[in-house]
């Protein structure tokens, strides 16, 4: 086979792009934010590929950023798998973002090996439309390559969440975006994307309801103080109950056991 033929075959691959090629198609879904779509070469989140979100901190709006996509995917078949999220997903907030709770699957793993294996299985299973994976703050070149291949094999949307400090490290993820807070907004910096150069910057207001939030500092929030009189009355009632049981035991031929006292484990 000639060198020219080899080059033509190579250029047909999805992971190879030319700066002059603006027409190569790729399956995507809109991010739900027009300003972000405008900065992405294919105008949306790439399907069958891994997207990496590098966060300045957890809980800065990364789930809200993906909510429009996840809500759209909920209308189709397939679950959304969350693997090792740092916080328990808050059901009312997800429901308010039009996410179907019955299609959410949360997986807890005990090691990095289990995390990567679980994500791979979810991605290639054909049962998950999207897989969200939170990874530890360390170099994971091999693991990310495996996840990118799994997302491609399963033709699903794969997302990994890592620390912003890792943005200088190479990654096999097809799309890489740094996310941080600037001037009370979410600042997104695209450092790598399929079909085009990186370097784009987008500012989003992912929490427009913030206008209704309290502007008071934490140390000015109201504090609940238990009613001392109610506590004393409650304790007196318990003491009276215990005395009554003890008197009953002394007057009875067969001992009557004390009522069981609540323990910490009862509330778990």
Round to whole Å and give the CA distance between 229 and 135. Answer: 50
- Quick check: is 253 in a domain? no
Alpha-carbon distance of 28 to 44, in angstroms, equals 5
Cα-Cα-Cα-Cα torsion 151, 156, 162, 167, nearest 10 degrees, comes to: 70
Residue 199's pLDDT band, with cuts at 50, 70 and 90, is very high
Q: Is the pLDDT of residue 74 over 50?
A: yes
Q: Are strands 157-163 and 49-55 parallel, antiparallel or unpaired?
A: parallel
Domain span holding position 88: 23-212
Phi, psi of 178 (to 5 degrees): -90, 135
Evaluate whether residue 65 is within a structural domain: yes
Q: Are the CB atoms for 72 and 31 separated by under 8 Å?
A: no
Longest CA–CA separation in the chain, Å? 106
9-42 pLDDT per residue, tens? 655 555 555 544 544 556 899 999 999 999 999 9
The answer to the question of residue 1 being in a domain is: no
Domain count, the chain: 1
Dihedrals φ, ψ of 161, to 5°? -115, 125
Interior CA angle at 82 toward 107 and 48, to 5°? Answer: 120
Residue 181 in any domain: the answer is yes
pLDDT in tens, 106-118: 999 999 999 999 9
In a domain, 64, yes or no: yes
In a domain? residue 229: no
User: Is 249 contained in some domain?
Assistant: no
The model scores a pTM over 0.75: no
What confidence score (pLDDT) does residue 76 get? Answer: 87
Q: What is the pLDDT of residue 239?
A: 65
Residues 84 and 115: beta-carbon distance below 8 Å: yes
238 in a structural domain = no
Helix residue spans in 12-160 (DSSP H): 34-39, 62-73, 91-96, 112-124, 141-154
Instruction: Identify whether the C-beta of residue 178 lies closer than 8 Å to the C-beta of residue 191.
Output: yes
Q: Residue 105's domain is classified under what CATH number?
A: 3.40.50.300
What percent of the chain lies above the pLDDT cut of 90? 62
Measuring CA to CA, how many Å separate 242 from each of 82, 237, 260?
49, 9, 11
């Amino acid at each position: 086979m000639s060198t020219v033929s080899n080059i033509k075959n190579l250029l047909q691959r999805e992971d190879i792009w030319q700066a002059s090629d603006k027409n190569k198609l790729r399956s995507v879904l809109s991010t739900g934010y027009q300003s972000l779509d405008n900065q992405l070469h294919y105008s949306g989140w790439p399907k069958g590929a891994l997207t990496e979100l590098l966060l300045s901190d957890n809980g800065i709006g990364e789930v809200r950023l993906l909510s429009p996509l996840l809500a759209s995917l909920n209308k189709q078949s397939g679950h959304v798998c969350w693997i090792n999220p740092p916080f328990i997903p808050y059901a009312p907030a997800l429901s308010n973002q039009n996410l179907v709770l019955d299609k959410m699957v949360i997986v807890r793993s005990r090691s990095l090996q289990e995390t990567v294996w679980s994500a791979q299985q979810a991605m290639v299973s054909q049962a998950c439309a999207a897989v969200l994976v939170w990874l530890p703050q360390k170099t994971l070149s091999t693991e990310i390559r495996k996840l990118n291949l799994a997302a491609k094999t399963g033709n699903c949307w794969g997302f990994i969440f890592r620390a912003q400090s890792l943005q200088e490290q190479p990654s096999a993820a097809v799309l890489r975006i740094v996310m941080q807070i600037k001037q009370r907004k979410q600042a997104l910096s695209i450092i790598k994307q399929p079909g085009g150069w990186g370097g784009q910057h987008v500012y989003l207001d992912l929490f427009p309801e913030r206008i209704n939030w309290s502007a008071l500092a934490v140390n000015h929030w109201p504090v609940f103080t238990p009613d001392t009189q109610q506590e004393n009355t409650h304790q007196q009632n318990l003491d009276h109950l215990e005395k009554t049981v003890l008197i009953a035991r002394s007057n009875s031929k067969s001992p009557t056991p004390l009522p069981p006292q609540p323990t910490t484990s009862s509330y778990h």
